[in-house]
Amino acid sequence: MTLPPEFDLITRYFKPLSGDGSFSLSDDAAVFMPPAGQEMVMAADALVEGVHFLPTDPPATLGRKLLRVNLSDLAAMGGAPFGYLMTLSLPRIDHAWMAAFVVGLATDQKAFGMRLLGGDTTGTTGPVVLSLTIIGTMPPGQAVRRSTARPGDSLWVTGSIGDSALGLSVLTGRVSAPEDVRAFLTGRYHLPRPRLMKIAGVASAAMDVSDGFVQDLGHLCRESGCVAVVDVDRIPLSRAARSLADQFADQPAFLEQVLTGGDDYELLLAVPPEREIMLSAAARQAGVSLTRIGRFYPGAPAVDIRRADGTSLEFGRGGWSHFQ
Amino acid sequence: MTLPPEFDLITRYFKPLSGDGSFSLSDDAAVFMPPAGQEMVMAADALVEGVHFLPTDPPATLGRKLLRVNLSDLAAMGGAPFGYLMTLSLPRIDHAWMAAFVVGLATDQKAFGMRLLGGDTTGTTGPVVLSLTIIGTMPPGQAVRRSTARPGDSLWVTGSIGDSALGLSVLTGRVSAPEDVRAFLTGRYHLPRPRLMKIAGVASAAMDVSDGFVQDLGHLCRESGCVAVVDVDRIPLSRAARSLADQFADQPAFLEQVLTGGDDYELLLAVPPEREIMLSAAARQAGVSLTRIGRFYPGAPAVDIRRADGTSLEFGRGGWSHFQ
Contacts of A146 in chain B (CB under 8 A): 26-28
**DSSP H helices in chain A:** 5-9, 59-77, 95-112, 163-171, 179-190, 213-224, 239-242, 251-260, 276-286
**DSSP H helices in B23-143:** 59-77, 95-112
- Whether residue B87 and residue A31 make contact (CB cut-off 8 A), yes or no, is no
Cα–Cα distance between A13 and A5 in angstroms, integer? Answer: 12
- Residue burial A6-35, b: 16+ Cβ < 10 Å; e: rest: bbebbeebbeebbeebbbebbbbbbbbebe
pLDDT at B2: 58
CA-closest candidate to residue B40, choices B65, B69, B67, B77: B77
Cα–Cα distance between A288 and A145 in angstroms, integer? Answer: 20
Q: What is the pLDDT of residues A105-120, one digit of tens each?
A: 999 999 999 999 999 9
pLDDT at A6: 76
**ipTM for this prediction:** 0.95
CA-closest candidate to residue A88, choices A122, A47, A53: A122
Helix (H) or strand (E) holding A294: strand A290-297
- pLDDT category, B5, cuts 50, 70, 90? confident
Tell me what the pLDDT averaged over chain B comes to: 95
Residue A196 confidence (pLDDT) above 70? yes
- Whether residue B48 and residue A123 make contact (CB cut-off 8 A), yes or no, is yes
DSSP string, B282-322: HHHHHT--EEEEEEEESSSSEEEEE-TTSPBP--S-SS--S
- Say if CB A30 and CB A85 are below 8 A apart: yes
- pLDDT-above-90 percentage for chain B: 94
- Whether residue A51 and residue B124 make contact (CB cut-off 8 A), yes or no, is yes
Please state the separation of Cα B249 from the chain's center in Å.
29
- Whether residue B42 and residue A85 make contact (CB cut-off 8 A), yes or no, is yes
- Straight-line distance from the first to the last Cα atom of chain A, in angstroms, rounded to the nearest whole number: 49
pLDDT at B315: 86
CA-closest candidate to residue A154, choices A118, A111, A191, A203: A203
CA-closest candidate to residue A209, choices A143, A154, A164, A253: A164
The nearest CA of chain A is from the CA of B51 a distance in Å of 7
pLDDT at A302: 95
- Say if CB B166 and CB B175 are below 8 A apart: yes
Best residue in A10, A49, A114, A124 for a mutation probing chain B (most B CBs within 10 Å)? A124
- Whether residue B322 and residue A44 make contact (CB cut-off 8 A), yes or no, is no
Q: What is the pLDDT of residues A273-290, one digit of tens each?
A: 999 999 999 999 999 999
Residue B309 confidence (pLDDT) above 90? yes
Nearest residue of chain A to residue B127 (CA atoms): A126
The nearest CA of chain A is from the CA of B77 a distance in Å of 7
The nearest CA of chain B is from the CA of A13 a distance in Å of 16
Q: What is the pLDDT of residues B75-112, one digit of tens each?
A: 999 999 999 999 999 999 999 999 999 999 999 999 99
Residue B321 confidence (pLDDT) above 80? no
The nearest CA of chain A is from the CA of B214 a distance in Å of 10
Helix (H) or strand (E) holding A229: strand A227-231
- Whether residue A29 and residue B6 make contact (CB cut-off 8 A), yes or no, is no
Contacts of B85 in chain A (CB under 8 A): 42-44, 133
Amino acid residing at B110: K
Cα–Cα distance between A161 and A168 in angstroms, integer? Answer: 13
Cα–Cα distance between B87 and A73 in angstroms, integer? Answer: 15
Q: What is the pLDDT of residues B256-283, one digit of tens each?
A: 999 999 999 999 999 999 999 999 999 9
pTM of the complete model: 0.95
Identify which of A32, A77, A123 has the shortest CB distance to residue B28. A77
- pLDDT category, A319, cuts 50, 70, 90? confident
Contacts of A5 in chain B (CB under 8 A): 321-324
- Whether residue A44 and residue B92 make contact (CB cut-off 8 A), yes or no, is no
- Whether residue B122 and residue A322 make contact (CB cut-off 8 A), yes or no, is yes
Q: What is the pLDDT of residues B167-191, one digit of tens each?
A: 999 999 999 999 999 999 999 999 9
Q: What is the pLDDT of residues B216-245, one digit of tens each?
A: 999 999 999 999 999 999 999 999 999 999
Nearest residue of chain B to residue A322 (CA atoms): B123
* Helix, strand, coil abundance in chain B, percent, nearest 5: 35, 25, 40
Overall average pLDDT of the B272-299 stretch: 98
- pLDDT category, A3, cuts 50, 70, 90? low
Contacts of A218 in chain B (CB under 8 A): 1, 3
Q: What is the pLDDT of residues A92-101, one digit of tens each?
A: 999 999 999 9
Nearest residue of chain B to residue A43 (CA atoms): B29
pLDDT at B3: 64
Contacts of B126 in chain A (CB under 8 A): 124-127, 129
Helix (H) or strand (E) holding A40: strand A39-48
Q: What is the pLDDT of residues A285-307, one digit of tens each?
A: 999 999 999 999 999 999 999 99
- Whether residue A85 and residue B44 make contact (CB cut-off 8 A), yes or no, is yes
3-state secondary structure of B84: strand
Residue B205 confidence (pLDDT) above 80? yes
Give the full edge-to-edge strand order of the sheet including A205-209.
A205-209, A266-271, A154-158, A290-297, A227-231, A302-306
Best residue in B11, B42, B142, B227 for a mutation probing chain A (most A CBs within 10 Å)? B42
Helix (H) or strand (E) holding B5: helix B5-9
Best residue in A28, A53, A73, A77 for a mutation probing chain B (most B CBs within 10 Å)? A28
- Whether residue A4 and residue B29 make contact (CB cut-off 8 A), yes or no, is no
The nearest CA of chain B is from the CA of A200 a distance in Å of 13
The nearest CA of chain A is from the CA of B99 a distance in Å of 17
Cα–Cα distance between A258 and A243 in angstroms, integer? Answer: 12
Contacts of A301 in chain B (CB under 8 A): none
- Say if CB B155 and CB B220 are below 8 A apart: no
